[in-house]
Structure 1
Amino acid sequence: MVSLPEELQAREAAARQRVEELQAEAAELAVRLERAREDLSRLEITRETVAQVLADLSAAGAAPDGPAHDVPDSEGTSAPHGIGVMAVPPWREGLVAQVLPDVYRDIVEIVADAPGPLPAKQIVPRIGLEATTAKIEGPRGKLKRLVERGWLDEDAPGRFTLARHGPDAGRVNSR
């Protein structure tokens, strides 16, 4: 049989060990918290800097006498300086689906090959995703963007077809 003082010493040792383990965890969490705060601070500064640069560019673009922010393009001519890239350009005569990023091009080709309007839930499996609600929302946004930029039409809510343009309305624009 164990004596009461020995039992108390054993429990005290176990409690001391648990306190030390928790202190070590707290120290690790403090380090992780500090890293997360540094990341947050850098992101806030970056966002503020980008907002300021965009505001400056916008103000310079609005001022007719302001200095031009031009950079040479690959052919040596001047092109306006902009922030970001438009992944889905607006459709215009002569533009083909090959100019679109892969997933957008796949969507346009799927819709072009369809016999009629397609809902997003029928397009999603054809681009390699599960037809679950969570997986449908991203492609639905891409479909809406393609509609906004003139590549697709949304004849009925949520049903997408290839956009009809001018006399060649029935021709697939991915060729």
Structure 2
Amino acid sequence: MAHLETRESALDEQAGQIRSAMADLAARLRELDAEIENLRVTRKTLQTVPRPGPAAEQPPRPEMPDHPAYQQILTTPADTDRPMRARDICQALDLPILPKTTEGIRSKLKRLVARGILTDSEPGLFARPGT
């Protein structure tokens, strides 16, 4: 009889531990189910949000030639608010006013116009866009 009571007591203790573990697991299962439901709601909400359209793309910036002469040329029209001729730019850059020099500057100015960096409002007059 004593043996039966000892065995019954041990089994009651084990059953109590298992019931306690089951209660803990059931609570954890409820937490996981709630989290899963929150994720489902979030996914459903995100699927109803309209996707953003393509961002307004800025026009590509004109590619600047690498040669330093272009940088010097571009600083000259920036100093004035009026269009300049190739000869005026030669004078501003302290270059000799020779046909060879003037034509070299003019060809560089035309390249800058072709790339959209400068404009030529009239033949031979070069300026920054917007001036």
Structure with bigger gyration radius: 2
TM-score scaled to structure 2, two decimals?
0.48
Q: Larger helix proportion, structure 1 or 2?
A: 2
Q: Larger strand proportion, structure 1 or 2?
A: 1
